Structure 1
């Protein structure tokens, strides 16, 4: 009898390991091109989490592998690379995608629904309505616009302009920006777009020099924001400049002088990766400090990838021995208030924007970031 009990215990202990698997996370993003630093940094942030979890023995016996493919920022390559990834690597979840058309075309292609696979964590500069297969770990664009316009209202700025990426989502973005401005008792007196996939800012610069707004809201890629700021400042533009979180502060600081950057404010949707302000930030700082030869420098994009990695690991943990693609969706929908260490994530059926966290970074005269 005792031997039977020992055997039953051994079987019970071995059962989770019998189903242990390598969880493949697939990222298709800009590893080259204008947004390469952000795409690579996002992946590096996820990798920090997966390496730490794997070193500790995994989750429910499962270990994690990140497979990355480069789309160079081109939407057609996003689709082809995703198809290849799904066929060859069989990922459990996708993560870390970039670009309005890239994500939009992926959704329109029906690949996510056909393969029953969620995309967790992505960056766009347009409003994206909730889709059952899309989950984001950052605040929505409306939250960012509201934060920016509320700040402007407190300093008495009411005449605004909007710089944005032109495309199918532009009308909804413009309407949201105008609504946020009206709420703050401000008016958007000038609007100018740039062609998707480019940094062609000259027409917008010319338009805003003519309109003379007090402040300009930039809802654009980092490359387009850098090009706009460079040309606008060189032409004598004096409006205050406020960017949404897609205008990567690290990319701007590499391209622009301290004088050009002075006073630029950027909405940030994650805690700062440069100071320990929470348990999450401390964990991130400790891991980056212990990681030799980081692929890219520490950045906000890396912090966002780090958050995405932690959310994916938690979704796998909640499924126990047999994680599946559809199980990821169910696990995410059960994350009502997940505390990652001072950064809250919450999803539920019909709600795919997981955070409301937004704060402003303002560049000082010495080129330093202050919150």
Structure 2
């Protein structure tokens, strides 16, 4: 009985037993991030990277993982798919990272998978800033998702619009795989709710050329608009669309940073913009993960960024990755890490459950809806 009780206690301690324990084979574990550090999505790449680094700082301050320290190595792809492929190849060859973490962009990740570079190196990606359905099914063997799908986010949007009595909806989307995935998800969710898609308008990737989309959607007089767009384009759309359509409810995917929109176009114009989220509020949230990241932020402040949802998403990605590394042995390899990830079941990241298996890498389903207040802050 004593032995069984002790075994349960040891299992319950989990990663706490391996973080901070030294060993004879202590070394540096390198993790790679290829993401936009320049261009329109630079704030996203930087904040996701800062969140990863923040958790690495926490772990390293405790003595590392199985005695190994963690180092994040970054490369800038400027949100260009061909650069993602190129930079990943160069980073893997030069730095020999154990894994990749914090990639950004549906088209970017799609191009990387198609290039075969992940398979050639046998290197896993833990956490990517994409919710596209085609990157979840069929199951990609080396891509592990730590955020809810765009389909889940859009279902949350549609449920909210339906509760408000909205029946006619437009979709503003990026003209690439990301945007088209969201458009299809919107069509499915609206049809299931008995609501109508009355207009759709697109803008080219890596631009804020929204005029044509504003006209196409505005002419249809929708009661609500689903925004499948990044922060810069979302800001441009709201700024151009809202003056003539003040009563239309706008709700954007989590890839839009609401406070940055408010900063770009002013708090008054941004007030009331809905934004779905895939992690809790790091500033005002009362849950365990939000409290943890605030404490980490106080102890290990990151330069040039703010504590926001994107940073917390990177922090969550890093926690999942480190948990798996802890189960991959004192001298982890890429193959051992993949096995550990496939056996990571029911991992509670401070109220956000994460779990994978060999036939399911869609590891997270947390969503919530926020709205920008008069100060440009997202509130529930």
TM-score, normalised to structure 2, is 0.90
Does the CA-based 8 Å contact 1:126-1:170 persist in structure 2?
no
4+ runs deviating over 4 angstroms: 168-172
Does the CA-based 8 Å contact 1:209-1:237 persist in structure 2?
no
Q: Shift of the alpha carbon at 1:290?
A: 1.9
Q: Give matches, 1:10-21, under 5 Å.
A: 17-21=23-27
Does the CA-based 8 Å contact 1:217-1:242 persist in structure 2?
yes
Q: Which residue does 1:86 correspond to in 2?
A: 92
Q: CA separation of 1:121/1:182 partners in 2, compared to 1, >3 Å: closer, same or farther?
A: same
Distance 2:226 2:301 in 1: 38
Tell me how large the CA RMSD over aligned residues is: 1.7
Does the CA-based 8 Å contact 1:153-1:185 persist in structure 2?
no
Q: Does 1:288 align with 2:297?
A: yes
Q: Does 1:362 align with 2:368?
A: no
Secondary structure of 2:350 counterpart: coil
Q: Which residue does 2:79 correspond to in 1?
A: 73
TM-score, normalised to structure 1, is 0.92
Q: Which residue does 1:62 correspond to in 2?
A: 68
Distance 1:301 1:169 in 2: 18
Q: Shift of the alpha carbon at 1:100?
A: 2.4
Secondary structure of 2:45 counterpart: helix
Q: In terms of Rg, which structure is larger?
A: 1
Q: Does 1:262 align with 2:268?
A: no
Greater Cα shift, 319-328 or 204-213: 319-328
Q: Does 1:167 align with 2:176?
A: yes
Q: Which residue does 2:12 correspond to in 1?
A: none
Q: Which residue does 2:41 correspond to in 1?
A: 35
The runs of 5 or more residues in structure 1 that have no matched partner are: 1-14
Query: Which residue of 115, 121, 125 maps to 1:115?
Result: 121
Q: Does 1:346 align with 2:352?
A: no
Q: CA separation of 1:227/1:103 partners in 2, compared to 1, >3 Å: closer, same or farther?
A: same
Q: Shift of the alpha carbon at 1:323?
A: 0.8
Q: Which residue does 2:166 correspond to in 1?
A: 157
Q: Shift of the alpha carbon at 1:171?
A: 4.7
Query: Which residue of 140, 144, 161 maps to 1:135?
Result: 144
Q: Which residue does 1:311 correspond to in 2?
A: 320
Query: Which residue of 216, 221, 228 maps to 1:212?
Result: 221
Does the CA-based 8 Å contact 2:258-2:378 persist in structure 1?
no
The runs of 5 or more residues in structure 2 that have no matched partner are: 1-20
Q: Which residue does 1:186 correspond to in 2?
A: 195
